[in-house]
Structure 1
Amino acid sequence: MRSLTANVGRKNNSSENIFQDTNIRRILISRPNQRLGNLLLITPLLQEIAAVYPQCKIDLFVKGGVAPQIFRNYDTIDTIIELPKKPFKEPFRYLKSWLKIRTTSYDLAINVDKVSSSGRLSVRFSRARFKLFGDSLNESIGLMYFDFKHIAKAPVYNFRFAGLQENIFDKSDKVPYLDLKLDHSEILNGRKILQALVPENTKVISLFTYATGSKCHSVEWWEEFYEKVRLHFLDYTIIEILPVENISQIGSKALTYYSRDIREIGSVIANTSVFIGADSGIMHLASASKIPVIGLFNVTNPLKYSPYNHNSLGIETADNNIENIIEVLETILRYRLRT
């Protein structure tokens, strides 16, 4: 499918002069993917679009049922068009979702991931005056930004340089951080849940030891890491955030927290001092909850998937031993949290 759709929109010229049009009122953003992390990673683009077109309404073309939870507090979002996870089991719902983007008139349609076949096709299929397929960045523009390959930042850079309107934005403008937009009541609820596990005012390190497939570090690695962190930071309590599979790579030696509510998990993490976990959707959820995050990478590329917010970074565990990671953690806890 990628080879068949690679050239869809390549000769499209409808993106020209997009920022000179002040009548952009309805926008379609296409990210037909059901993974938690991939959906959270479009929150910088949503913020960027809202800043440029504050009066616009956005429809999201996604997959699965998690999007309404993630984007609950995004006022600019109007309709979430959800493809079923298994289209052959729900063919009529699948076709209805595609017809929705065809029967709605949009001023602008944006494909988030340029290698997404469904994303490219959905933008091509839409009735939009302007269409962005994710190919705005050419090599010379990409060289201006060391981080343009990051999966959360590339769509923003693509949007900024659509139609080659380089002068619209200051090149020093920072890409917005991931943001779950937790409200005050959600933060308070997360604090209440945390206080049921540890005494009030306890400093907490949140740990997530699971990841899918080869991204998951071994039980032996995690057990050694946990013991060294526990002994090095005796003034902190470690709480393990359990995945939906309810699996612990450290044999539940730490206090554990389990929930299937995405926003509740985020609110609990938001009340901890730092999050440590392998490359996963929960890692990006922690980033979107606005606390420092250390992402542990053993197969995926941190240049593309690193946690993205203030005081966060990705570490390749093949190139850094546990002592190196602890030094980074100590720097975050002792110094960066004071700034």
Structure 2
Amino acid sequence: MKKIKIKKILVIKFRFHGDMLLITPVISSLKANYPDAIIDVLGYEGSVEILRVNDDVDKIFAVKNKKASFSNKTLDYLKVVHELHKEKYNLVVNLSDQWLSGLMTRLISPSYSVAFEFQQRNQFLWRLFFHELVKPEGTHVVERNLSILNAFDFPVTVKNTKMGYHAFVWEGIKFRLGKEWDQQKYVVVQPTARQKFKYWDDEKFAEVIDYIQRVTHHKVIITCGPSEDDKRCVARIAELCKVKPVMTLAGNTTFDELAAVIDHAQFFIGVDSAPMHIAAAVDTPIICLFGATDHRAWHPWTEKFWMVWAGNYHPMPKRSEIDRSFKYLSYIPVEKVIDAVNSAVTAEKAG
């Protein structure tokens, strides 16, 4: 990268909530090497909210996602570009592969811009949007994201993901749960994800929850997203449980509240979803259930996890052949998840 004075940086990522968490090592590394620089983030409306409590980030800008109409999106994009152009960025770090990210970068007119060299993009046209392209490297998504820093003259200094919340948020959660939760040991279970092919069977989740509460004597708090589908799913799981889990927070937390709940849990159990990545970011041990997604690329970015992969019990399809209405995790035997629970409890007792 050419020598320029870095005062203002914009990081771009157009993806979902979990993807936004997985770019935080890039943001933290930029902040560590440019401590006086302002770092802003541009992402999709809603998804970018997961970075609201991050002291490395100054401003957050958002554009409407794919669900908005073409006219609404166009007007929104133009408005955001106008706002960003006034910021006069020295550097834009683009981690997205959408043409929109390239066009917006060009319209923002930064002093310098860096992006990945994506195979699925026409290299001549893609190169017109940026000053420098970098080949992505690594197996895990975090490793690939961090490889954008190969364009710079400094080593990667921060590799952990980051998720924050204020102390008063946890106090508010305890108030909602009741006074007895000051010393209560509990486990967070997140059965839902954005896509149904990542779901496990409700009956199996219920069996695991009963085992945790009956045998390990930990309470279970079920969490989920705010959608009606998510709420119906966890309500059915709770109905199937012989020992009822705590449902107070299901579908009823902000991202920072969810981070606080998971942070104080003994361990977390869930499918491939944003809350799983939150658990990794707050350093809570994880039991993760994976199916047809690439677990090598998307597993929790931590050493404290036990993975139960459906591919060990039945062949998983290629990405292009995934049936998004089919529950691939159904191949996972409940006994294997209970084995992972026992391992997590043993590790907890060992300190």
Match of 1:325 in 2: 337
Number of matched residues?
A: 302
- Against the structure 1 CA distance between its residues 305 and 98, is the aligned structure 2 distance closer, same or farther, given a 3 Å change threshold? same
Distance in structure 1 (CA, Å) of the matches to 2:334 and 2:103? 44
Query: 2:60 matched to 1:80?
Result: yes
Query: 2:32 matched to 1:51?
Result: yes
RMSD over aligned CA atoms reads: 2.7
Match of 2:159 in 1: 176
- Against the structure 1 CA distance between its residues 313 and 104, is the aligned structure 2 distance closer, same or farther, given a 3 Å change threshold? farther
Match of 1:162 in 2: 151
- Against the structure 1 CA distance between its residues 88 and 138, is the aligned structure 2 distance closer, same or farther, given a 3 Å change threshold? closer
1:288 to 276, 281, 293: 281
1:250 to 209, 234, 237: 237
Match of 1:309 in 2: 302
Query: 2:7 matched to 1:25?
Result: yes
User: SS of 2:40's equivalent?
Assistant: strand
Match of 1:202 in 2: 184
User: SS of 1:276's equivalent?
Assistant: strand
Distance in structure 2 (CA, Å) of the matches to 1:302 and 1:194? 34
Q: Which moved more, 1:39-48 or 1:69-78?
A: 69-78
Question: Does the CA contact (< 8 Å) of 2:164 and 2:259 recur in 1?
Answer: no
CA displacement at 1:268 relative to structure 2: 1.8
Distance in structure 1 (CA, Å) of the matches to 2:212 and 2:266? 14
Question: Does the CA contact (< 8 Å) of 2:28 and 2:56 recur in 1?
Answer: no
- Against the structure 1 CA distance between its residues 243 and 30, is the aligned structure 2 distance closer, same or farther, given a 3 Å change threshold? same
In structure 1, list runs of 5 or more residues that go unmatched. 1-15, 143-147
Query: 2:223 matched to 1:241?
Result: yes
Identity %: 20
User: SS of 2:111's equivalent?
Assistant: strand
One-letter amino acid of the structure 1 residue matched with residue 144 of structure 2: A
Query: 2:139 matched to 1:149?
Result: yes
Query: 2:280 matched to 1:300?
Result: no
Q: Which moved more, 1:198-207 or 1:329-338?
A: 329-338
CA displacement at 1:162 relative to structure 2: 1.1
Q: Which moved more, 1:45-54 or 1:309-318?
A: 309-318
Question: Does the CA contact (< 8 Å) of 2:114 and 2:134 recur in 1?
Answer: no
User: SS of 1:60's equivalent?
Assistant: strand
Match of 1:9 in 2: none
Question: Does the CA contact (< 8 Å) of 1:180 and 1:285 recur in 2?
Answer: yes
Distance in structure 1 (CA, Å) of the matches to 2:334 and 2:111? 52
Q: Which moved more, 1:97-106 or 1:125-134?
A: 97-106
User: SS of 2:302's equivalent?
Assistant: coil
Match of 2:321 in 1: none
User: SS of 2:283's equivalent?
Assistant: coil
Question: Does the CA contact (< 8 Å) of 1:61 and 1:81 recur in 2?
Answer: yes
- Against the structure 1 CA distance between its residues 124 and 103, is the aligned structure 2 distance closer, same or farther, given a 3 Å change threshold? same
User: SS of 2:52's equivalent?
Assistant: coil
One-letter amino acid of the structure 1 residue matched with residue 151 of structure 2: A
CA displacement at 1:32 relative to structure 2: 2.5
Question: Does the CA contact (< 8 Å) of 2:291 and 2:310 recur in 1?
Answer: yes
Question: Does the CA contact (< 8 Å) of 2:53 and 2:165 recur in 1?
Answer: yes
Provide Cα deviations, 1:91-133, integer angstroms capped at 9, x if missing partner.
42232112333444211111113x3333333334431222111
- Against the structure 1 CA distance between its residues 231 and 70, is the aligned structure 2 distance closer, same or farther, given a 3 Å change threshold? same
Query: 2:328 matched to 1:335?
Result: no
Structure with more helix by fraction: 2
User: SS of 1:178's equivalent?
Assistant: coil
User: SS of 1:335's equivalent?
Assistant: helix
Query: 2:48 matched to 1:61?
Result: no
TM-score, structure 1 normalization: 0.78
CA displacement at 1:236 relative to structure 2: 1.1
User: SS of 1:190's equivalent?
Assistant: helix
- For residues 63-142 of structure 1, the aligned pairs below 5 Å read 63-67=44-48, 69-85=49-65, 86-88=68-70, 90=72, 91-113=74-96, 115-135=97-117, 138=135, 142=137
Distance in structure 2 (CA, Å) of the matches to 1:191 and 1:308? 28
- Against the structure 1 CA distance between its residues 220 and 47, is the aligned structure 2 distance closer, same or farther, given a 3 Å change threshold? same
Match of 1:213 in 2: 196
Question: Does the CA contact (< 8 Å) of 2:266 and 2:348 recur in 1?
Answer: no
Provide Cα deviations, 1:247-275, integer angstroms capped at 9, x if missing partner.
31514432212214222222122221111
In structure 2, list runs of 5 or more residues that go unmatched. 118-132, 313-331
TM-score, structure 2 normalization: 0.76
